[in-house]
Chains A and B, each alone.
Chain A
Amino acid sequence: LAKTTQPISMDSYEGQEVNITCSHNNIATNDYITWYQQFPSQGPRFIIQGYKTKVTNEVASLFIPADRKSSTLSLPRVSLSDTAVYYCLVGEPGRRALTFGSGTRLQVQP
């Protein structure tokens, strides 16, 4: 399974855009890139998933360059409630268990 590397932590302020980049140099052809959000004492929650180029939903955008060796989760205008740990995962979620990396702990300040 492709290993992912992302910053351990990030700080931001309310209203700012936050970009979290994840490296996955060994991504396989069939792998998708999925981001999850986790609040303390809760299970992870799906944010967004993509294979290539750009994906946008009501919560975030996901940018994936042509070589797919990295991806960037973009959270527009964060609020205090976006304080959480964000995990970047690479694999085939419909087939097998997900391998979680260390995640990025985002702290949003007022």
Chain B
Amino acid sequence: GAVVSQHPSWVICKSGTSVKIECRSLDFQATTMFWYRQFPKQSLMLMATSNEGSKATYEQGVEKDKFLINHASLTLSTLTVTSAHPEDSSFYICSAPGRGLNTEAFFGQGTRLTVV
């Protein structure tokens, strides 16, 4: 089946620094990718929709200047957490929709971000 690869799997950074997370579709092209955030013991919450060749659309309450999304090609979307703070520590997951209507979505392995 289709694979979505996310990198890195985990990262620790200092407060105030920026961290980039990559999401790649390995054997298919994805014009759209979704970014989710998941806090411990909670469900996945959609942060934004990444659109190839155009601006990302953000969910209400998500700061677009803090969570920069770039979808420069049909196989790569990146999420950059800028000026990270401890409260940004979370599990970030990307996904790509299925290749047809009403088909399964494909998820990356997730990235555990810890800001110290």
Contacts and interface: CB of A to CB of B under 8 A. Distances in A.
Contact of A94 (B36, B45, B101): B101
B43 A41 contact: no
Interface residues of B, number: 27
Contacts of B106: 46
Given A42-B110, A97-B46, A49 B104 contact: yes
Interface stretch (A12-20, A65-73, A76-84, A100-108): A100-108
Interface stretch (B11-19, B62-70, B72-80, B90-98): B90-98
A7 interface: no
Nearest to A87: B43
Interface in A16-47: 30, 32, 34, 36, 41-46
Contact of B102 (A45, A93, A102): A93
Contacts of A51: 102
A101 B43 contact: yes
B109 interface: yes
A45 B107 contact: yes
A43 B98 CA distance: 15
B46 A102 contact: no
A49 B93 CA distance: 21
B103 A102 contact: no
Given A43-B108, A43-B110, A92 B44 contact: no
Contact of A95 (B46, B101, B110, B112): B101
Contacts of A45: 107
Contact of B46 (A46, A49, A87, A99): A99
A34 B106 CA distance: 12
Interface of A: 30, 32, 34, 36, 41-46, 49, 51, 87, 92-103
